[in-house]
Amino acid sequence: MIEQAREALKRVYGYDSFRKGQEDIISGILQGRDTLAILPTGGGKSICYQIPSMLMPGTSLVISPLISLMKDQVDALRRVGVSAAFLNSSLGAAEYREVMRNAMQGEYKLLYVAPERLDAPMFQSLSEQLSIPLIAIDEAHCVSQWGHDFRPSYRQLAGWIARMKDRPLVAAFTATATTEVAADISEMLKLRDPSVFVTGFARPNLSLSVITGVDKKKFLESFVSGRKEQSGIIYAATRKEVENVYEQLTRRGIQAGKYHGGLSDAERADTQEKFRFDDIRVMVATNAFGMGIDKPNVRYVLHWQMTSDIESYYQEAGRAGRDGEESECILLFEPADMQVQRFLIEQGTGDSDRKSIQLSKLNTMMNFSRTQRCLQQFIVDYFGETGVEACGKCSSCLDKSEPVNRTEEAKMALSCVGRMKGRFGVTMAAKVLKGSRDKRLLEFGLDRLSTYGLMRHLPEKEIADWLYWLVSEGYLKLSDGQYPVVSLTANALPVLEGRESIMQRVRATVRQAASADSANASPLFDALKQWRKEKAAVEGVPPFMLFFDATLREIANAQPQSVDQLLGVKGIGAAKAEKYGEDLLAIIQAFDGEDRTAVKISAVPREFGKSTGDDEQPSHLTTLALFSAGQEPDEIAKDRGLSKVTIEGHIIRCADEGEEVDWSRIIPAEYEQLIVDAIGEQGTEKLRPIKEALPEEVTYFAIHGVMSKYGFKG
């Protein structure tokens, strides 16, 4: 059966091989095993139940809470020749009856259903008559009270399945489940001796960053302005903040959309479609937006505020880079975010147990926002995955500030918390250490503690931040509930007894930074910094948004001589190597002479490759040379360590610059005239309608080839 699955993958989807974990999951289902599969966002969950459904007799049911996802997946399946339909509240009465009638006649291989529809009399009648080989449950974490998106309607699934005359196979899928949630899913759905697959939570193409202490408005404007041609999502915690951020961007002339629960269905649907088709590049939204929106080219996700839990953060951040390309995930963190999220939890639905779980998750999210560990490691550890190496490119990994011994300050803080006997929160502990004359502090007699005023030389806010850092590192813990109290953990004892030291990275002051720069200065490093400053000014972003100092310093030390060598430098992924690699290599080459101090940045040619000699040439011309020598784009991509899309882009760029390209190798001869006719009829403003009007064998690359060959502009 697995050979049939591979054949279906190639025939229906056009892929030669499965992604990590997919083949094992599909094989288990085809062998008749109940299944629980945990794959990261963008990991290809849908193929894992769609291919078995195509190979099994009858109609498989897909249970999903996401109306938008149902429509997208059904549309996609129909375009590749697979019969599918959905039943949810978006259908009118006539449409609903038509789908039911067709389903009765066995016309569908997959039928998507909202969980609320299962108990409807019409659907009960349908399910009794259908031959159902498989029930696939998407977003399965919704069944678990321990999950971040618990939905009571999912709790009826196990009972509904148990009442079926011939129970089908059941396969549950989710992207965000801790080991605790995974066990709960299996129990709540009554899975029978399930095969459990966890393919790994790390997303190597995502660069995660937590940024604090900046002017958020200025940062946002610089960040988005420097990415005008990129699609991005900006998440805010409340409708009010969505409106504020949206207005801020539009006042600056940045075309953006907004999405939250206060808008009408029509407004949300219209904005969502504009974003999907790149008519608008930036979406400002609450967490109501994004679930099930399979837009692969989101290049960045920026969180205006901290989310309520790791699951929500990673699911939302994971909407960047679903195509595997380098993408950025930025969290702008402020301590006040905790209060916003705490308020939303307290005002939300759910009993006290549910809220206690949510508050515990919020504390973990706060720890993530303050940690100095690798951010990718923190996340995968949270989900129960161990042994993952540091990513090398998150804000923690790239923070090269020197660690400072803060053991004595830690003893002061820990001792103070211990003497407060777990009765007060972080704010009160900070006041005691500051020596505050706060009325409540005095009423409780906390000014009589021996630790009163031990850190009076520091601002109270800085003391509170220090306490929160000790929480994030596991020396202190916060209780659950609306008013969390702080107490010691077992990890605090070795510190208090002098058996363990506490080291913390402290960001350098201006004076310290200048000293560090002078100690590591070199003419090449200075030239790279000058280039970064000028480039950032052109792009309208802060210099560090291009590269951190540590990355430039490593470039100056290693002096890479090719794009492949550049990719070995920490902080440079494929996207940045492609965008800036030629400039960086040109600057390095300009310093290849003996008297490097005499070389000025102005000596670097503005158009790298036009005048740099015979030993080096622009990356896209190298690609063309390999292509002209007979190599195929996918072979070139593999050899050069770049994506196939990038290689194809190189060839298109060469054609645009007047280089000779043998397009006959790219354009399917039997479809060449069809492409010409489609472009002539629909124009080149939008390639999507052209692509959809043509056979599936025709790629966007072939369309670009026709455009170049026949002189179409667009």
CB 535 within 8 A of CB 581: no
Same topology between domain 403-505 and domain 619-710: yes
Q: Reply yes or no on whether the pLDDT at 511 is more than 70.
A: no
Give the mean model confidence (pLDDT) for residues 212-233: 87
Query: What is the residue-averaged pLDDT of the chain?
Result: 81
CATH of domain 2-198: 3.40.50.300
Give the mean model confidence (pLDDT) for residues 498-505: 87
CATH of domain 403-505: 1.10.10.10
Which segment of 3-7, 9-13, 264-268, 442-446 scores lowest on mean pLDDT?
9-13
CA gyration radius, the chain: 28
Q: Reply yes or no on whether the pLDDT at 682 is more than 90.
A: no
Q: Reply yes or no on whether the pLDDT at 250 is more than 80.
A: yes
What is the reported pTM? 0.57
Q: Reply yes or no on whether the pLDDT at 519 is more than 50.
A: no
Residue 518 pLDDT grade (very low, low, confident, very high; cuts 50, 70, 90): very low
Q: Reply yes or no on whether the pLDDT at 567 is more than 90.
A: no
- Distance, in Å, from the CA atom of 310 to the CA atom of 316, rounded to the nearest integer, reads 10
**pLDDT for 506:** 60
Q: Reply yes or no on whether the pLDDT at 615 is more than 70.
A: no
Amino acid at residue number 302: L
pLDDT tens readout for residues 291-327 = 556 677 789 999 999 998 998 899 899 889 877 778 9
Which CATH code, of 3.40.50.12780, 3.20.20.140, 1.10.10.1100, 1.10.150.80, is assigned to 510-603?
Answer: 1.10.150.80
**pLDDT for 599:** 35
Buried b (16+ CB within 10 A) or exposed e, 127-164: beebebbbbbbbbbbbbbebbbbbeebbbebbebbeee
Q: Is residue 565 within a helix (H) or strand (E), and if so which, with residue range?
A: helix 563-566
Q: Reply yes or no on whether the pLDDT at 532 is more than 60.
A: yes
Residue 419 pLDDT grade (very low, low, confident, very high; cuts 50, 70, 90): very high
* Topology adopted by domain 619-710: Arc Repressor Mutant, subunit A (1.10.10)
Per CATH, is 206-382 categorized as 3.40.50.300? yes
- Please state the φ and ψ torsions of residue 309, each to the nearest 5 degrees: -160, 165
- Distance, in Å, from the CA atom of 389 to the CA atom of 403, rounded to the nearest integer, reads 21
pLDDT tens readout for residues 43-95 = 788 899 999 999 999 999 999 877 767 877 887 788 677 899 998 888 888 88
Q: Reply yes or no on whether the pLDDT at 619 is more than 80.
A: no
pLDDT tens readout for residues 277-286 = 677 889 999 9
Q: Reply yes or no on whether the pLDDT at 153 is more than 80.
A: no
- Please state the φ and ψ torsions of residue 588, each to the nearest 5 degrees: -60, -45
Residue 379 pairs with which residues in a beta bridge? Answer: none
Residue 542 pLDDT grade (very low, low, confident, very high; cuts 50, 70, 90): very low
Report domain extents, the chain: 2-198, 206-382, 403-505, 510-603, 619-710
Specify whether the backbone of 360 is left (phi greater than 0), alpha (psi in -120 to 50) or beta.
Answer: alpha
pLDDT tens readout for residues 467-480 = 988 987 889 988 87
Inter-residue long-range contacts of 6-13, CB under 8 Å, 24+ positions, other chains counted: 8/51, 8/54, 8/55, 9/47, 9/51, 12/51, 12/54, 12/80, 12/81, 12/82, 13/47, 13/80
